[in-house]
């Protein structure tokens, strides 16, 4: 389920050295946003949503077919694994900031080094949320960071507890439903840059957390993008235990155990769980053979759920997307092995005037090996995401009447100021 960043599959397959292509370097550029004329949408793409007509002017390329890279794009597992191991990882100098949370936990915020001196204080801020066990070292995160930074955005990667080599300081890890850390990150970033609009992009489990956050915090983020979101975690869990998917399941389980319970000469997280009472089953989590077993032994207990099924059912962003009042673009692949297309809440997206959904026929999970930079460069989705964010940034987009709010209330997203929590 996209509690699933596939970097951890390296426990099963030997890693491959990746090189940064020449076009991946950071550049500072000044761009002028011009709105493209309306194109006929290509039938290879499923495009629906209550905000369909409002958001379509943002995109320059949706009139062209989605053309997966030959051979690699024909099989969802080949595409998923190839993207995880062979996609180039751009070189970026990052500056880490460790943020202590109210419950004494810790998350790591990775900023582009030097941007605090280069960019104006009102530059838009983009918060990136990687998938399960993922962090700022992942190729898909780095490519988005580069694309946004080259457009003048200030970018920060939110590494969850234990991810991206951030420390685990409490027995409480993170989960698909827990938005407390996201709330504190947004408050911290908004306080640092009070005159900047905040945006967010999430992948996989990060996307699920992001949508759950947006459903509760409607005025803190100006616009957002969700990619490879599992949405319905019950359905995702069912599919995750079928066929070849067990390879991903095993790899992510290994990564979860390593992050939360790792013990070596430098780090000993296991001692945090000594003498844990209640329903905790630390031996089950420590020896888990599946994500489900890990969640049963540790995650669901940490966050107060009666069972792992209760946890999945009540953590699914498919149940919360109807409450999102922030401009939201969702991009999914119809053949995603980890975020099943049948779990997409299409009807709620159709009825929400703030949401747009794009479904590509191929793409795998975090793959999308297509477009001008395939097969080693940025995923096809990056251009779409940047078009959407730049459109919101330009102020050309006028929001519909507030979803469930006062009739006739409208405002430009460019004029929407970040509200501190």
Which residues form the catalytic set? 204, 336, 365
Q: Which two tokens stand for residue 268?
A: 């000993």
Q: Which two tokens stand for residue 30?
A: 């000044």
Q: How far apart are CA 48 and CA 56, in angstroms?
A: 10
Instruction: For helices 139-149 and 76-86, give the axis angle rounded to 10 degrees.
Output: 70
Q: DSSP readout, 87-152?
A: S------EEEEEEE-TTS-EEEEEEETTHHHHS-TTS-EEEEE--TT--TTSHHHHHHHHHHHTTT
3-state secondary structure of 47: strand
Q: How far apart are CA 202 and CA 149, in angstroms?
A: 17
The bridge status of strand 106-112 relative to strand 46-48 is unpaired
Other CB atoms within a 10 A radius of the CB of residue 301 amount to 22
Which helix (H) or strand (E) segment holds residue 248: the answer is helix 245-261
First to last CA, the chain: 30
Residues 6+ apart with CB under 8 A from 34: none
Q: How far apart are CA 133 and CA 252, in angstroms?
A: 8
Q: How far apart are CA 219 and CA 212, in angstroms?
A: 14
Nearest to 252 by CA among 310, 204, 313: 204
Q: How far apart are CA 291 and CA 356, in angstroms?
A: 30
Handedness of CA 392, 393, 394, 399 (dihedral sign): positive
Alpha-carbon separation of residue 115 from 58, 168, 202 (angstroms): 27, 28, 22
3-state secondary structure of 299: helix
Which residue reads 């019950």 in tokens? 234
Q: Which two tokens stand for residue 152?
A: 């003048």
């Amino acid at each position: 389920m996209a509690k699933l960043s596939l970097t951890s599959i390296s426990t099963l397959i030997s890693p491959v050295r990746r090189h940064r292509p020449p076009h991946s370097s950071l550049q500072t550029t000044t761009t002028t946003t011009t709105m493209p004329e309306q194109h006929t949408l290509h039938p290879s793409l499923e495009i629906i949503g209550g905000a369909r007509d409002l958001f379509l002017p943002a995109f320059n390329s949706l009139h062209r077919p989605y053309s997966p890279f030959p051979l690699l794009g024909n099989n969802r597992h080949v595409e998923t694994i190839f993207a995880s191991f062979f996609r180039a990882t751009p070189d970026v100098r990052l500056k880490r900031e460790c943020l202590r949370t109210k419950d004494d936990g810790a998350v790591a915020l990775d900023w582009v080094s030097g941007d605090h001196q280069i960019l104006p204080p009102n530059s838009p801020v983009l918060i990136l949320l990687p998938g399960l066990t993922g962090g700022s070292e992942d190729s898909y995160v780095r490519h988005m960071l580069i694309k946004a930074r080259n457009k003048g955005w200030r970018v920060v990667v939110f590494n969850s507890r234990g991810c991206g080599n951030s420390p685990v300081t409490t027995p409480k890890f993170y989960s698909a439903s827990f938005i407390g850390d996201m709330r504190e990150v947004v408050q911290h970033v908004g306080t640092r840059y009070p005159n900047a609009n905040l945006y967010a992009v999430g992948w996989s489990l990060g996307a699920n957390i992001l949508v759950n956050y947006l459903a509760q915090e409607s005025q803190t983020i100006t616009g957002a993008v969700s990619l490879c979101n599992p949405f319905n975690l019950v359905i995702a869990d069912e599919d995750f235990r079928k066929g070849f998917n067990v390879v991903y399941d095993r790899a992510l389980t290994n990564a979860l155990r390593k992050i939360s319970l790792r013990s070596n000469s430098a780090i000993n997280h296991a001692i945090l769980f000594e003498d844990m009472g209640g329903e905790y089953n630390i031996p089950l989590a420590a020896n888990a053979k599946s994500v489900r077993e890990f969640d049963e032994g540790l995650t669901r207990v940490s966050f107060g759920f009666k069972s792992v099924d209760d946890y999945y059912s009540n953590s699914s962003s498919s149940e919360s997307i109807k409450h999102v009042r922030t401009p939201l673009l969702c991009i999914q692949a119809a053949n995603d092995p980890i975020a099943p297309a049948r779990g997409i809440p299409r009807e709620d997206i159709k009825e929400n005037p703030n949401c747009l959904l794009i479904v590509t026929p191929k793409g795998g999970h975090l793959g999308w090996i297509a477009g001008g930079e395939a097969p080693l460069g940025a995923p096809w989705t990056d251009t779409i995401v940047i078009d959407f964010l730049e459109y919101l940034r330009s102020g050309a987009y006028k929001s519909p009447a507030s979803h469930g709010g006062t009739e006739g209330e409208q405002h430009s997203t460019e004029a929407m100021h970040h509200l501190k929590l």
